[in-house]
Every structure is written in structure tokens, then in C-alpha cells.
């Protein structure tokens, strides 16, 4: 099995993975009932380029995914995880989550956030193992994880994981790392 970043032109493979989820699993993943194939296509088509879709693939089929999206000022990153039913309980969700944390941290997100239904035992357990603070209210669980600023170790973790397969990402990474080494704010962010 290979974990890699999913490029824009392969997003249909992510949509196909989400469409294989049962109606109950779709409800758990998106915290809403009635998630249709059309809704999934619309959702995937509208994912901004600055986010991340990490996938676990087996024989060129997406079997698990982590979607990381940033709020408008990039201070908070939200993560959603999904794993095909036959590949659950093997640590794949945790591995995707850990790589999502490194990705968000290296983009100077201050907090990682996830929202799931309270009865989504898999996601709640993953959030607990990751040390997230979880608040339960009205059938939902909100989990938060404060993120430290990036450092040379987090940058090297991301580089060694193979997430940076596109030249644009390498340039972005070196700009951010250079700003950290020089004590300046990274491009696009105020120092503070």
C-alpha cells in the first residue's frame, strides 16, 4: 500500500472512494444524511487547490483518504478521514491523520480541527489517540489539536514522506523553511 498526495487531475479517484462508502458511512464522514453521488461529485470538484488530499492506494485504487482544508486565514486546518470498510482497524486512518498534521503544521496552521458525529467511534477513537481535545454536544463531536509552528524536523518529515512530488510544493516548502531559519514570517503570513 502506498500513501501519497493526490494531484488535481486524479480527484475522480477520491470521488470514487467516497462513493463506495455505505450510506451510513457517508453520514458519519460528512455529518449529514442523504449524501448522494452527485453531492460527492460537487464536493470533490469544489475542493480548493491549497488544501490536501492524501490517499492510501492499493493496486491503483484509493482505499483511504484524508482531506485537509484551511479556513480563510489559514490559522485552522480541518481534516476529514475515510477508509474503505475492508481496510479499517489496520492503522491506515492514523497514518493519514499523522501526515495531515505535519502538512497543516508546515503551512503554519495553529490548530487542527475535525467535526464528526458522536457515534462515529472510529474517528472519535482516532482523535483521542492523537491527543485532540474533544467536546460532545447535540450528537456531534468537535475535536481540536493545537499545532506548534513548523521546525526543521516537521519539514524533513514532510519531505521524506513523499508528499512533495510537485515542484511548486518544493518551492513553497523552501520559502517557508528559509523564512523560519531567518526568523521572518513565511510568505503570506504576518509574523506573530
Domain presence at residue 13: yes
Q: What is the pLDDT of residue 175?
A: 58
pLDDT in the model for residue 192: 42
Four-point Cα dihedral 149, 150, 153, 157, nearest 10: 130
Nearest to 13 by CA among 66, 60, 80: 60
- Asked whether the beta carbons of 83 and 67 are under 8 A apart, the reply is no
pLDDT of residue 8: 87
Q: CA-to-CA distance for 57 and 71, rounded, in angstroms?
A: 28
pLDDT confidence of residue 185:
53
**Is residue 191 a part of any domain in this protein?**
no
Does residue 187 belong to any structural domain of this protein? no
pTM recorded for the entire structure: 0.80
Whether 171 maps to a domain, the answer reads: yes
pLDDT at 135: 96
For residue 35, the SS3 value is coil
Tell me the sheet residues that pair with 2: 57
- Domain extent, residue 87, equals 2-181
pLDDT the model gives residue 189: 47
What is the mean pLDDT of each successive set of 10 residues along the chain, which is 192 residues long?
Answer: 85 95 94 94 90 87 94 88 92 92 92 94 93 95 95 86 51 59 54 42
pLDDT for res 2: 82
User: Residue 156: what pLDDT?
Assistant: 87
Cell matching residue 75: 490559522
Compute the distance between CA of residue 174 and CA of residue 166 in angstroms, rounded to an integer.
13
pLDDT of 48 reads 87
**Assigned domain for 18 exists:** yes
* pLDDT for the residue 80: 94
Domain-located, residue 192 = no
* Number of H-type helices and E-type strands within the chain: 7, 7
What pLDDT sits at residue 181?
64
Domain-located, residue 189? no
CA distance 94 to 69: 18
Task: Give the CATH number, domain containing residue 172.
Answer: 3.40.630.30
How many independent structural domains does the chain possess?
Answer: 1
Whether residue 188 lies inside any domain: the answer is no
Amino acid at each position: 500500500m502506498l500513501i501519497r498526495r493526490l494531484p488535481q487531475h486524479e480527484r475522480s479517484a477520491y470521488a470514487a472512494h467516497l462513493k463506495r462508502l455505505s450510506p451510513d458511512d457517508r453520514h458519519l464522514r460528512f455529518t449529514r444524511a442523504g449524501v448522494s453521488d452527485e453531492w460527492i461529485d460537487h464536493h470533490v470538484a469544489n475542493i480548493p487547490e491549497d488544501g490536501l488530499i492524501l490517499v492510501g492506494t492499493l493496486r491503483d485504487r484509493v482505499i483511504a483518504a484524508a482531506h485537509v482544508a484551511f479556513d480563510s486565514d489559514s490559522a485552522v486546518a480541518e481534516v476529514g478521514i475515510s477508509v474503505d470498510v475492508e481496510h479499517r482497524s489496520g492503522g491506515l486512518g492514523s497514518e493519514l491523520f499523522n501526515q495531515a498534521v505535519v502538512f497543516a503544521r508546515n503551512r503554519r496552521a495553529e490548530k487542527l480541527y475535525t467535526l464528526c458525529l458522536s457515534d462515529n467511534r472510529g474517528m472519535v477513537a482516532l482523535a483521542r489517540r492523537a491527543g485532540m481535545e474533544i467536546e460532545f454536544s447535540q450528537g456531534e463531536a468537535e475535536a481540536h489539536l493545537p499545532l506548534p509552528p513548523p521546525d526543521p524536523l516537521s519539514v524533513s518529515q514532510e519531505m521524506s514522506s513523499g508528499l512533495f512530488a510537485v515542484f511548486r510544493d518544493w518551492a513553497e516548502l523552501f520559502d517557508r523553511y528559509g523564512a523560519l531559519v531567518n526568523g521572518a514570517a513565511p510568505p503570506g503570513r504576518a509574523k506573530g
